[in-house]
Chains A and B, each alone.
Chain A
């Protein structure tokens, strides 16, 4: 999978170099040094030379489109955004393409770690540039934002304005105190313990792609499904803790990405706590525009719940196919879409029946809260089956558990 280690001397040394060099320099030299560090880390430790060339090439195409959009060229958005999407799907070699294109036209030469995160960062810049809300923008800032070695491989998905404002000192990554810096070190070490110790302890009990379903009891399957959910959290949140800590020390703190997802009490609450930067991106650029578009249609104007539900399914569909290139990720997304629709409809029905006050009181009851957490944890764990197994095997596993 990843092929790089946050514990390697190379990445740790590069992080220390970034903290020291970026702390000791100013202005253009500081920006050029950061770009050099980003390219060196990506090229040497994360992507290799080929992957880095692919990433830089994709970022250059993005830069041209963003620059055109900033200069008021409407085509940059109308043609540029679809072009980026098609290019991304082609470069990632989506399974769907194998049904529509001949094998001779397909290649995996552009498949690169982190391309999906880079894609969303570029698309964000393009949309904001076309809307005139991107703000100050320069080539070195853009490439440092796009290729930032801390967030390149797995996010969190930072916004350009947040990156730029911290980079140029408009806002502070952390307070300039010894305690705040020690807290950042604790964040790094805590993340390493999550990803390199705790997650690895859980991993042997988690489901894996080649497992024999028939050889396992229902209880074992259930434990493996739950364990994978916990493993995924420790693995991903651990990584995020490390890069948030490193970024804090050199002056550009990535956004928070997790907030105790295991205590989420419903499907909507879950996505406010899990992969938060992705949720915010999808809310801004998929859910809200889709929801508003539906509300503008004559036939939907008075159907806010239906509009919201359709927008939620569309959003989760996009989330699913963004996560991975194969059919199982589509199932993952649609399952989460279904969860969202069920929750929102249930919530709306109860609100109409009882009114807001009574519904709030009902929600506050300890057993309703607890039941919500149990149901959400189970639903989310079942959806994560499609992170590990292909669609057919995933459904087989779920059927084995419930039948």
Chain B
């Protein structure tokens, strides 16, 4: 696997981890509420 692909896979893993740890289940999208 090439270096750019590996780096991106690593970044995806980190982002998923952040989402699993901190993401709220539901948010209100402001632009749908006017």
Chain B stretch 1-34: residues in CB contact (< 8 A) with chain A: 4-5, 8-9, 11-12, 15-16, 18-19, 22-34
Instruction: Compute the total of residue contacts between A and B using a CB distance below 8 Å.
Output: 84
Contacts of A236 in B (CB 8 A): 29-31
Contact with B along A167-203 (1 / 0, CB 8 A): 0000000000011001101100110110111011000
Count, chain A residues at interface, CB 8 A: 37
Q: A7-B23, A196-B23 are in contact. Are A182 and B9 (CB under 8 A)?
A: yes
Q: Is B27 within 8 A of A235, CB to CB?
A: yes
Identity of the chain A residue whose Cβ is nearest the Cβ of B21 in the assembled complex: A197
Contacts of B28 in A (CB 8 A): 1-2
Q: Is B15 within 8 A of A154, CB to CB?
A: no
CA distance A231 to B16 in the complex (A): 22
Contacts of A185 in B (CB 8 A): 8, 12
Contacts of A5 in B (CB 8 A): 25-27
B4 to chain A, nearest CB (A): 5
Q: Is B33 within 8 A of A189, CB to CB?
A: no
Q: Is B19 within 8 A of A192, CB to CB?
A: yes
Binding site for B on A (CB under 8 A): 1-3, 5, 7, 113-114, 116, 153-155, 178-179, 182-183, 185-186, 189-190, 192-193, 195-197, 199-200, 231-232, 235-236, 239, 323-326, 329, 387
- Nearest first, the 8 A-B pairs at minimum CB distance are A1-B33, A324-B34, A1-B28, A189-B15, A182-B8, A2-B29, A196-B23, A2-B32
